[in-house]
Amino acid sequence: MAQGLKVLSAALPQDVKLETRSYDLGAQRWHATGDTLPDAELESLKDHDAILLGAIGDPSVPSGVLERGLLLKLRFAFDHYVNLRPSKLFPNTPTPLAGRPDIDFVVVREGTEGPYVGNGGSMRTGTPDEVATEVSLNTAHGVERVVRDAYERAKARPRKKLTLVHKNNVLVHAGHLWKNIFDRVGQEYPEVTTDYLHVDAATIFFVTQPERFDVIVTDNLFGDILTDLAAAVTGGIGLAASGNINPSGAFPSMFEPVHGSAPDIAGTGKADPTATVLSVALLLSHLGYGDEAARIETAVASDLAERDAAAPRTTDEIGDALAARVSG
Amino acid sequence: MAQGLKVLSAALPQDVKLETRSYDLGAQRWHATGDTLPDAELESLKDHDAILLGAIGDPSVPSGVLERGLLLKLRFAFDHYVNLRPSKLFPNTPTPLAGRPDIDFVVVREGTEGPYVGNGGSMRTGTPDEVATEVSLNTAHGVERVVRDAYERAKARPRKKLTLVHKNNVLVHAGHLWKNIFDRVGQEYPEVTTDYLHVDAATIFFVTQPERFDVIVTDNLFGDILTDLAAAVTGGIGLAASGNINPSGAFPSMFEPVHGSAPDIAGTGKADPTATVLSVALLLSHLGYGDEAARIETAVASDLAERDAAAPRTTDEIGDALAARVSG
Ligand SMILES: CC(C)[C@H](C(=O)O)[C@@H](O)C(=O)O
Ligand SMILES: CC(C)[C@H](C(=O)O)[C@@H](O)C(=O)O
């Protein structure tokens, strides 16, 4: 987080005064007080132009507590319906794929619906007769706004290609809602080439032919799965940035690395801040600082190109190097 | 299918009389009659020791019709709760992964619950106010039997390692049901080493460290996604076999290639029958013909080792070669 703010300051024009407020949220706070995200803090977060979220989570906190109580709470409370996750294979970065395909796509993951709505339950819990449910809720309103956003993004890119990923041969009701809206909205974007893939088939192409993708739009859960895979083939989640965006501006958008908090290396100076720095670029781009965002991306690309795996740098050194490139 | 039966005949001991009956199901039948799987045929299928299912599907049939009306209908009607999908990287087969990791794991995918139960719907369909749902149903009964099967398989393998894959930080109710049963049943298998991964993280390891997996047990939908990815990294779905198993024997188990029907190359003699032949091996193994199954696997491994990408053979030639190896 410190490196992200460092690069943010370095990137902003001189005449822009950056005001930040830091919120102590996450595993330590929960252990100390039992709080995940109290209402007063949620309320005060609304007064900001954007939120930069540090990686959260720790194995000492029961699974689901921080995810539902903090991360998903923010995404839902601030109606972050566009979960934006670009994937690009930078030069000189490791990829598990042979032949280093040319990867440069962005996943527009729906962020406020699907199986993430928390609409589930269990009865006879803990007995041999337990039944547990999870309900995926999907609305025309929710699907159309994210599909439209994805078409706009596809239209603005050179290749103008949009792929819908779902599983409409099994999840027929949600799947047909998505497919029908995707097809209907597509009529307004004749310049965009479209394609449909089942989620299982999409994972195949992520490893055999990732260069075929330009923009992908998909459901919350499929987007979760696909973007971790996308990160893995483009250098690892240490490089994957994301934006939780409310395009209407009614609430602040939130930017965060896709990776977790890596508590095993906390404080050792070994964490790579690049994903947080790239999240800062998404933040700047969202707030209208497109040139500044591009400068950060160029700085990251150059830094990665010159990295020497045999001479690892500390978190701070990487942050300093990126800040220097951005301001210089 | 013809090659699968050819190899099956070649593999069986001389004194075993093979009786087969062929059912005309799939896209052509649906176009001609509107039938997917009539009750009388479902009923008569019960009289068999096992079912070998040819790849089905055609883009001319609306998505979901054959999937729900034929494939899933069989899995549910015959209570195929163990959907068994081995993944092995044979020598000389192409993989998109650099460094050709040593891959040899099996996914035990639940086959009768989860989001596949067909419990969804939509209201105000086709209007701007549409709401569509998909309900994932999970029972202690359904989870425990497949988890137990997976422990048994892990126990029988040299590495004795079992990984549960779910998303219990978001799908908390279903996720906790799975995790609790996984932990409880695990106490009966002290020799099995266990591990838990969220589905998104699992996709990362499938491409960065697939050698870490031995047996994986997971939900129906996660298993669908993961096994296509697993097939992709081990030579493609042209090689991926699967068994839809009812371990109780109350209904016949069903064996099928993971791939689709590739209608674009139907009749050209270009289809690779290897996945169907490997499905025959799973079928034999399930019916107690372990040695015969092993002979087929060895034949496939040798055939793959000697394949020359520059000299492709026809479907029939590959079938003949495998049958010859198996009987010789
Ligand atoms: C931590 C978890 C709740 C979250 C998600 O599932 O959305 C994460 O995996 C992500 O992709 O941002
Ligand atoms: C065809 C489809 C219904 C099926 C599934 O989703 O189970 C297939 O993808 C599979 O993996 O066998």
B306 in a structural domain = yes
Instruction: Supply the CATH number for residue B252's domain.
Output: 3.40.718.10
Q: Is residue B195 over pLDDT 90?
A: yes
Task: Establish if B64 belongs to a structural domain.
Answer: yes
Test site for ligand 2: of B80, B81, B224, most ligand atoms within 8 A of the Cβ: B224
Residues in B closer than 8 angstroms to A68, CB to CB, are 169-170, 172
Condensed to tens digits (0 to 9), the pLDDT of residues B295-318 reads 999 999 999 999 998 999 999 999
**AA identity, residue B72:** L
* Contact assessment for residue A252 and residue A50, using Cβ atoms and an 8 Å cutoff: yes
Quote the number of domains for chain B: 1
Q: Residue B72: is it exposed, middle or buried by C-beta count within 10 angstroms (0-12/13-18/19+)?
A: buried
Ligand 2 atom having least distance to the Cα of B68: 3
Q: Is the distance from the beta carbon of residue A152 to the nearest atom of ligand 1 less than 6 Å?
A: no
- A5 closest CA partner among A294, A279, A227: A279
Residue B81: inside a domain, yes or no?
yes
Mean pLDDT (whole number) for B15-20: 95
Nearest CA to ligand 1 atom 9: A224
Of the listed ligands, the closest to the CA of B72 is 2
Q: Nearest-CA distance from B64 to chain A in Å?
A: 4
Task: Please give the radius of gyration of chain B, using alpha carbons only, rounded to the nearest integer.
Answer: 20
CB contact under 8 A, B203 and A228: yes
Number of neighbouring beta carbons within 10 Å of residue A185: 19
Q: Which domain holds residue A140?
A: 79-234
Residue B238 has pLDDT above 90, yes or no: no
Q: Do the Cβ atoms of A120 and B133 come within 8 Å?
A: no
Distance in angstroms (rounded) separating the CA atoms of residues B218 and B228: 14
CB A87 within 8 A of CB A108: no
Give the containing element (helix H, strand E) for A231. Answer: helix A220-233
Do you know the residue count of chain B?
A: 328
Q: Which of A116, A201, A190 is nearest to A165 (CA)?
A: A201
What are the residues whose beta carbons fall under 8 Å from the beta carbon of B210, sequence distance 6 or more? B87, B97, B101, B103, B105, B230, B233
Distances (CA, A) of B283 to A323, B12, B70, B241, B276: 61, 12, 20, 10, 10
Q: Evaluate whether residue B136 is within a structural domain.
A: no
Whether A172 contacts B68, CB under 8 Å: yes
For residue B328, is pLDDT > 80? no
Whether A167 sits among the annotated catalytic residues: the reply is: yes
Instruction: Name the region of A26 (left: φ>0; alpha: ψ -120 to 50; beta: rest).
Output: left
C-alpha A167 – ligand 2 centre gap (Å)? 9
Q: Which of A116, A151, A272, A303 is catalytic?
A: A116
Q: Which amino acid is at B8?
A: L
> What are the residue ranges in chain A where pLDDT is below 50?
none
Scanning the structure block, which residue is given the tokens 């029907």? B261
Residue B34 lies in a domain: no
DSSP B55: P
Radius of gyration of chain A (CA): 20
Q: Would you call B90 helix, strand, or coil by DSSP?
A: coil
CA of B224 to the centre of ligand 2 (A): 6
Cα–Cα distance for residue pair B71/B53, rounded to 1 Å:
9
A81 is catalytic: no
Nearest CA to ligand 1 atom 6: A224
B104 is catalytic: no
* Residue A22 CB–ligand 2 contact under 6 Å: no
B314-326 tens-digit pLDDT = 999 999 999 999 9
Ligand 1 contact via A67 beta carbon (within 6 Å): yes
Residue B87 phi, psi dihedral angles, 5° rounding: -130, 120
Residue B198 pLDDT more than 80?
yes
Query: Ligand 1 centroid vs A72 CA: distance in angstroms?
Result: 8
- Would the CB of A204 count as within 6 Å of ligand 2? no
CA dist B151 → B194, B216, B217, B261 (Å): 9, 10, 9, 33
Which of A173, A185, A221 best tests the B interface by mutation, with the highest count of B CBs <10 A? A173
pTM of the model: 0.97
Domain-located, residue B308 = yes
Residue B51 is predicted with a pLDDT of 98
Ligand 1 nearest atom to the CA of residue A56, by list position: 1
**Per-residue model confidence (pLDDT) at position B180:** 98
Whether residue A172 has its Cβ less than 6 Å from ligand 2? no
Chain B neighbors of A87, CB-CB under 8 A? none
Q: How far is the CA of B107 from the centre of ligand 2 (A)?
A: 14
The mean predicted confidence, pLDDT, of chain B is 96
DSSP A35-99: -SS-HHHHHHHTTSSEEEPPP---TTSPTTHHIIIIIHHHHHHTT--EEEEEEE--TT---SBTT
Pocket probe for ligand 2: among B37, B61, B72, the residue whose CB has the most ligand atoms within 8 Å is B72
Structure confidence at residue B309 (pLDDT): 87
Give the model's confidence band at B57: pLDDT under 50 very low, under 70 low, under 90 confident, else very high: confident
What integer pLDDT is reported at residue A311 of this predicted model?
93
Return the residue whose CA atom lies nearest to atom 3 of ligand 2.
B67
φ and ψ of A318, to 5 deg: -65, -45
Kind and range of the H or E run holding A297 = helix A290-305
Q: Is residue A54 part of a domain?
A: no
The span from the CA of B247 to the CA of B253, in Å, is 8
Nearest CA in chain A to B198: A225
Q: What is the pLDDT of residue A217?
A: 99
Q: CB of A220 within 8 A of CB of A109?
A: yes
Ligand 2 center from residue B306 Cα (angstroms): 31
**Could you tell me which of B246, B276, B281, B280 has the C-alpha nearest to residue B259?**
B276
Report CB contact under 8 Å: B127, A140.
yes
CA-wise closest residue to B49 among B310, B250, B306, B270? B250
Over the stretch B138-175, which tens digit does the pLDDT of each residue have? 999 999 999 999 999 999 999 999 999 999 999 999 99
How many A-B residue pairs are in contact by the CB < 8 A criterion?
A: 217
Distance CA B328, CA B317 (A): 16
A167 vs B contacts (CB less than 8 Å)? 221, 224
Give a yes or no: residue B99 inside a domain: yes
> Which ligand is closest to the CA of B171, given by its number?
1
Does residue A105 sit in helix, strand or coil?
strand
- Which residues contact residue A85 at a Cβ distance below 8 angstroms, ignoring those fewer than 6 apart? A106, A107, A108, A109, A223, A227, A230, A240, A241, A242, A243, A258
Q: Which of B115, B130, B131 sits opposite A171 (nearest CB)?
A: B115
